[in-house]
Chain A
Amino acid sequence: MPRKTYKTSETVDFVVVGSGASGGIMARELSRAGFSVVVMEQGPRMAPEDFEHDELKYRNLSGITNNPTTNPQTFRRDPSQKAERMNGRNPLTYARIVGGSSAHFNANFWRLHEIDFIEGSRLGPIAGASLVDWPITYAELEPYYTKVEWEVGVSGLAGASPFDPPRSKPYPMPPLPVKSSGVLFERGARKLGLHPYPAPMAINSVFYKGRPPCAQCGLCGGFGCEVMAKSSSVWTVIPEAEATGRCEIRAESYVFRIGMNRAGRATGVHYFDRARNEQFQKARAVVVCANGSETPKLLLNSGTNAEGLANSSGAVGRYLMFNKGGGAAARFEHPLNEYKGANVTRVLHDFYDSDPKRGFYGGGGFDARSGGPLTWGQSVPKGTPTWGPGFKEYLESYTYWMNCSGHGTSLAQETNRIDIDPELKDAWGVPAMRVTYKDHPDDKKHAAWLSERAVEIMDAAGAKQIVPAEDAEASGGVHLLGTCRMGNDPSTSVIDKYHRTHDVRNLFLCDGSSMVTSGRGQPTQTIEALAFRAADFIGKFARTGDI
């Protein structure tokens, strides 16, 4: 069936900005509900055969991610400093292709736990942070977590973790086969009385919804999956949206401003097409799913003044969170061959809840994982020669290593934010984002604590050499969260519990920016559950003329 296209002069029901984890779901749900939808994606559309096993290109040369040359950002620790470009990289990274970051994710799909939604009232306030409750509960989101697992496709073993939050259905697919890192991680953790379990992954372990099981090629994080086993939007919900005949995916279309009329309603989006000509797509409503950095950037660039659009709260771009973590690399006696197989096969959530006895706020989960050889070879542990025979011997040990990685909380802080750099523009002439970020002291303490636990687990697993992660201040990330937080109070939040902006009735936001707290490290399933839920409500609003 030929793909549906719309003229820019046609007023479609919805423009969805972004085609990633949330945008793809939004497109499918709204088009299946009978609405006309145009999805705007900055990057190109890649076919399965376009993805390469090219670690240099994808990991070092921004092959499918925002490029620091054409999409530059600046960074500073503190609002008193002048933000500068970083050497050869951007602080905030996301995939810039159809499918967004769901195309290159590692595919760890962790649900949030019940506590994540109510930590503000249980553990707050915390000095220097804005730890508040979500306006929704885990129970409200649970059906949508289940929907993600069944509609998008997640493999795992329900009920295996004693810390698993309540669920209404098991996973639709069994877990992926365990690899050596998973076995060692499980061995060490069980010795310590912990509860590792098969990792829930958005990767097919069997044929599911017309897509094959994982070929175990070993390159998940940072790469697209050319066998389509990874449950990325580009292989799952986007084709289903297009199959309705009501959804157009418009690639290489960079939205730089939301159109507004004098009545304060969104009228569509201004964008650059692939020839960099300005265009305007008319729409009855706009849903921005552009990720936790591009969504606030778009709003801040869409106002008639410095405040930006939908920002009466002043919260647009603020409360930026990553997922602070700590861990350890470990070398074992025999080869693990971690370059083979899906990146993660075992996780544990024993340390998920924050425990006041630790003396700081923070919780996290662990996984056993690995990196590609090119990424691994570029750094050496302290004390290892950086060149010469000793370095060569280290290179020869590649297959004997694994990582025990802790993923945890980042506290929301008002001063951690994305705003618009006063000078820098990108290759399209669009004002670029400026990032201001400093770890909360509790985040740093928690990360160091996680590294200590990782060392214990690897030691119990029998590692011959353990290299704890160095304590370093966060200077960027790929989990881009909290920058247009949801809440009931329009003076402190950007969107309501239905993802509608408090200020503009027909403007909705749904992606990592909606999150109120950071969770423990793997936000994508939550972003997708939020998208399914938001789409339900947005569709209802549209049917009743309430947009």
Chain B
Amino acid sequence: MDQPIPSRRHFLAAVGNLASAGWIALNWPQIAAAAGHAGHAAHDMHDMQDMTPPPTTFTTLSATEAAEVGAIANLIVPGGTTPGARDARVIYFIDNALGSFFAAQLPSFRQGLADFESAYATRHGADKPFSAAPEAEQVAWLQEVDKTAFFTAVRRLTVLGLIALPKYGGNYNNLGWNLLGVEDSHVWEPPFGYYDKDYAGFEPYPGTKPYTA
């Protein structure tokens, strides 16, 4: 019963944030009515975050596994002057995914991780794990194994964790979307980008007679 109220609030907020109202102002009463009719017809992505606080513990991976996989992820999308996989808490997405919708992949993922670690230990010694190695050594090792199925799996999970909705555990504070340049809103109006700002309108071709209702 309470659902439409916050959702409607979100919709109003989204519309209110627009600098120039355009067709929204023109059509406001009908849009508001339609949104109300639709329950939370125009819920934005924030709804997901409101309902699900970001995870802070691992439920599928062990802390050791998470450290290793997290280190790989953070070399796939490194931090630095702009946030990377670690800042976006991608490892929590991976932990969540392998414990739920990608659970079928967990055994092969674990086997892949074990193979990754044992191969690394054979080369560099078993005294410290990959995640504790200097970054240059980590990068050099990944360059040797980046065609393996395990690395490919970590890479895919890293990208998904960076860009999927925050409710899945990653993309913390929209850092993934920020990296891509994606703003979090539901409603847009033109101009959308650089090139449609000064579009002069559609010019008919010789011999054609466009017509409207």
Q: Which residues of A contact B (CB under 8 A)?
A: 47-49, 52-56, 60-61, 157-162, 169-175, 177-180, 182-184, 186, 195, 197-198, 207, 211-213, 215-218, 226-228, 332, 334-341, 373-374, 377-378, 386-389, 391-392, 395-396, 398-399
Q: Does B133 contact A (CB under 8 A)?
A: no
CB-contact partner of B213 in A173, A227, A340, A374, under 8 A: A173
Q: Does B180 contact A (CB under 8 A)?
A: yes
Q: Which of B181, B193, B196 counts the most chain A CB atoms within 10 A?
A: B193
CB-contact partner of A216 in B142, B180, B188, under 8 A: B188
Q: Which residues of B contact A (CB under 8 A)?
A: 3-4, 7, 23, 27, 30-31, 34-35, 38-45, 48, 75-78, 80, 82, 84, 101, 139, 142, 146, 155-156, 159-160, 162-165, 168, 177, 179-182, 186-196, 199, 202, 204-205, 207-213
For the complex, give the distance between the alpha carbons of A213 and B199 in Å.
Answer: 21
Do A227 and B101 touch across chains, with their CB atoms under 8 A apart? no
- Which 6 residue pairs spanning A and B have beta carbons closest together? A180-B193, A334-B194, A49-B39, A48-B38, A180-B195, A56-B164
Q: Quick one: given A374-B163, A378-B156, are A228 and B41 in contact (CB under 8 Å)?
A: yes
Do A56 and B193 touch across chains, with their CB atoms under 8 A apart? no
Do B76 and A391 touch across chains, with their CB atoms under 8 A apart? yes
> Which chain B residue shows the least CB distance to A198?
B202
Specify the main secondary structure of chain A where it touches its partner. Answer: loop
Do A227 and B195 touch across chains, with their CB atoms under 8 A apart? no
> Which chain B residue shows the least CB distance to A392?
B77
Q: Quick one: given A212-B34, A399-B182, are A178 and B196 in contact (CB under 8 Å)?
A: yes
Residues of A within 8 A of B202 (CB): 157, 160, 175, 178, 186, 197-198
Residues of A within 8 A of B199 (CB): 178, 183
Residues of A within 8 A of B207 (CB): 162
Residues of B within 8 A of A395 (CB): 77, 162, 179-180
For the complex, give the distance between the alpha carbons of A336 and B181 in Å.
Answer: 11
For the complex, give the distance between the alpha carbons of A213 and B139 in Å.
Answer: 50
Do A227 and B34 touch across chains, with their CB atoms under 8 A apart? yes
Do B180 and A373 touch across chains, with their CB atoms under 8 A apart? yes
> Which chain A residue shows the least CB distance to B168?
A56
Q: Which of A48, A340, A387 counts the most chain B CB atoms within 10 A?
A: A387
Q: Which of A56, A60, A159 counts the most chain B CB atoms within 10 A?
A: A56
> Which chain A residue shows the least CB distance to B209?
A159
Q: B37 to chain A: closest CB distance in Å?
A: 8
Residues of B within 8 A of A396 (CB): 82, 179-181
Do A341 and B177 touch across chains, with their CB atoms under 8 A apart? no
Do B188 and A207 touch across chains, with their CB atoms under 8 A apart? no
Do B38 and A227 touch across chains, with their CB atoms under 8 A apart? yes
CB pairs A–B below 8 angstroms (15 shown)? A54-B48, A157-B210, A159-B208, A159-B211, A170-B211, A178-B199, A179-B196, A334-B193, A373-B177, A374-B160, A377-B162, A378-B156, A389-B80, A392-B78, A395-B179
Do B146 and A178 touch across chains, with their CB atoms under 8 A apart? no
Q: A111 to chain B: closest CB distance in Å?
A: 16
For the complex, give the distance between the alpha carbons of A337 and B191 in Å.
Answer: 10
Q: A130 to chain B: closest CB distance in Å?
A: 36
For the complex, give the distance between the alpha carbons of A186 and B201 in Å.
Answer: 11
For the complex, give the distance between the alpha carbons of A387 and B156 in Å.
Answer: 10
CB-contact partner of B155 in A160, A161, A169, A386, under 8 A: A386
For the complex, give the distance between the alpha carbons of A334 and B182 in Å.
Answer: 14
Do B192 and A179 touch across chains, with their CB atoms under 8 A apart? yes
Do A218 and B40 touch across chains, with their CB atoms under 8 A apart? no
For the complex, give the distance between the alpha carbons of A173 and B23 in Å.
Answer: 15
Q: B203 to chain A: closest CB distance in Å?
A: 9
Known: A60-B160, A180-B191, A195-B205. 17 other contacts (CB 8 A): A47-B38, A48-B38, A55-B165, A157-B212, A158-B212, A159-B208, A159-B211, A162-B208, A169-B213, A180-B195, A207-B27, A212-B27, A216-B189, A378-B156, A387-B75, A389-B80, A398-B181
For the complex, give the distance between the alpha carbons of A109 and B195 in Å.
Answer: 25
For the complex, give the distance between the alpha carbons of A171 and B160 in Å.
Answer: 40
> Which chain B residue shows the least CB distance to A398?
B180
Residues of B within 8 A of A184 (CB): 195
> Which chain A residue shows the least CB distance to B161?
A56
Do B181 and A335 touch across chains, with their CB atoms under 8 A apart? yes
Residues of A within 8 A of B180 (CB): 373, 377, 395-396, 398-399
Residues of A within 8 A of B155 (CB): 386-387
Q: Which of B30, B75, B180 counts the most chain A CB atoms within 10 A?
A: B180
Q: Which of B44, B45, B179 counts the most chain A CB atoms within 10 A?
A: B179
Residues of A within 8 A of B84 (CB): 392
Do A158 and B210 touch across chains, with their CB atoms under 8 A apart? yes
> Which chain B residue shows the least CB distance to A177?
B190
Do B164 and A49 touch across chains, with their CB atoms under 8 A apart? no
Do A217 and B195 touch across chains, with their CB atoms under 8 A apart? no
Do A228 and B186 touch across chains, with their CB atoms under 8 A apart? no
Residues of A within 8 A of B182 (CB): 339, 373, 398-399
For the complex, give the distance between the alpha carbons of A373 and B188 in Å.
Answer: 16
Residues of B within 8 A of A162 (CB): 205, 207-208
> Which chain A residue shows the least CB distance to B163?
A374
For the complex, give the distance between the alpha carbons of A338 and B194 in Å.
Answer: 11
For the complex, give the distance between the alpha carbons of A336 and B194 in Å.
Answer: 6
Q: B110 to chain A: closest CB distance in Å?
A: 18
Residues of B within 8 A of A378 (CB): 156, 159-160
For the complex, give the distance between the alpha carbons of A463 and B182 in Å.
Answer: 21
For the complex, give the distance between the alpha carbons of A482 and B212 in Å.
Answer: 34
